[in-house]
Amino acid sequence: MFDYKSEQKTLEIGGVRIGGLPGQTPTVLIGSIFYTKDKSVSNAEKGEFDRKKTEQTINMLRELTEKTGIPTMLDVVATSSEAIDKYLRYLADNSDFPLLIDGSDSAEVNATGIMTAKEAGFLDRVILNSLTPTTEEELYKVVRDAGLKNALLLTFDAKSMISYTKRVELADELIKRAKDVGITNIMIDTGVLDLPTLGIACKTQHILKDKYGYPVGNGAHNAISTWRGLVPKFGKDAKAPALVGSSLMPVSLGADFVLIGPVKHAPVIYPSVAMIDAALSGILIESRTQPDRPHPRFLIS
C-alpha cells in the first residue's frame, strides 16, 4: 500500500519527529495562530494580542497532543516585522512547539523572523514557511547567512495549478535551491487552493515521497475555505465534518503533516487524525514493526 522506492526520512525539529512510513510516525498537525481575524489579536501591525487567550490556546493544543499522541507545530502568521518578532519571542518562551515563520509572502517579515530566532537562540526550533517559486534571492541569502536548517517548500504556482507533473518539477528546483543555502531539514507542501487541487496535491505528495523520501503534506483546509457552495447548499452544520474530511484525505494517502488552518479547529481534527494514524499502524503488524511512541495506537482506545 505504501511501498516507496526511496528511504523515508524522519526529521527531528524542536523535539518533534516528522516523516517516515505511514502508520509508524504520528502525523504532525500544524495550526495557524495570529492569523487574519484571530480574535486574540488586537493590533496585527504592532503584534499586540491577548496573552490569556493565547495561553488557553497553547494549553488546549498541549492537551490534545498528550491525549492523542499527535504532535503539534504552530504556523505563526504575521504581516509586519514588529509583529513576527513579538509573536515568536512569546511563543518560544511560553510553549514547546516548533514554530513556522509565516510572513504572508513578505521577504522582510520572514527575514526578521529568522533573525529573531537566531538572536534569541531558538533557530533550531523554527521552520521557514515557506520557500516558493517566487521567493526573492534576498531571503535565500538570509537563510544561508543565518544558518537556518529547516524549511517548508511550497511546490505550487499559477502554472502548476492543475498539474502534478509541474509540481514535481517545481519541487526538484526548490529542493536544489534549498540545499544550496544549507537547508537540511526539508518538508514539502504540495499546495491546495480548492477541492480539485486537493486531489492533485495528494497525488503530488505520493510521487515526491516516493522520489525523495522527504516529509510531505499540504494545507487541505484551503479546499473548504474556498468551497463557496458548502454552507448555502448544505448548511453550517456541514462545515465541520467537511473540514475534518479534508484533513483526513492526505493522511489516508500517506501525508506526514497537515496544515489545518486556524488552531480553533484543532479539537475536532486531532481525534480524527489520531483515528486514521491508529488504523494505519495496523499495516505494520504483520511485519512486527511497532509504531513510534507516543502514538495514537496506544493512547486513544
Residue 168 lies in a domain: yes
Residue 4 lies in a domain: no
Separation between Cα atoms, residue 95 and residue 60, nearest integer Å = 11
Residue 37 lies in a domain: yes
pLDDT at position 62 over 80:
yes
- Dihedral of the alpha carbons of 84, 85, 90, 96, in degrees to the nearest 10: 70
Residue 1 lies in a domain: no
Query: Count of domains in the chain?
Result: 1
Q: What is the pLDDT of residues 177-189, one digit of tens each?
A: 999 999 999 999 9
Residue 104 pLDDT grade (very low, low, confident, very high; cuts 50, 70, 90) = confident
Residue 205 lies in a domain: yes
Domain hosting residue 141, numbered range = 10-299
Residue 257 lies in a domain: yes
* pTM, entire model: 0.97
Cβ atoms within 10 Å of 61's Cβ, excluding its own: 23
Residue 165 lies in a domain: yes
Cβ atoms within 10 Å of 252's Cβ, excluding its own: 14
Q: What is the pLDDT of residues 45-57, one digit of tens each?
A: 999 999 999 999 9
Residue 290 has φ and ψ, to the nearest 5°, of -90, 140
CATH number at residue 127: 3.20.20.20
Residue 5 lies in a domain: no
Least confident of 36-40, 54-58, 201-205: 36-40
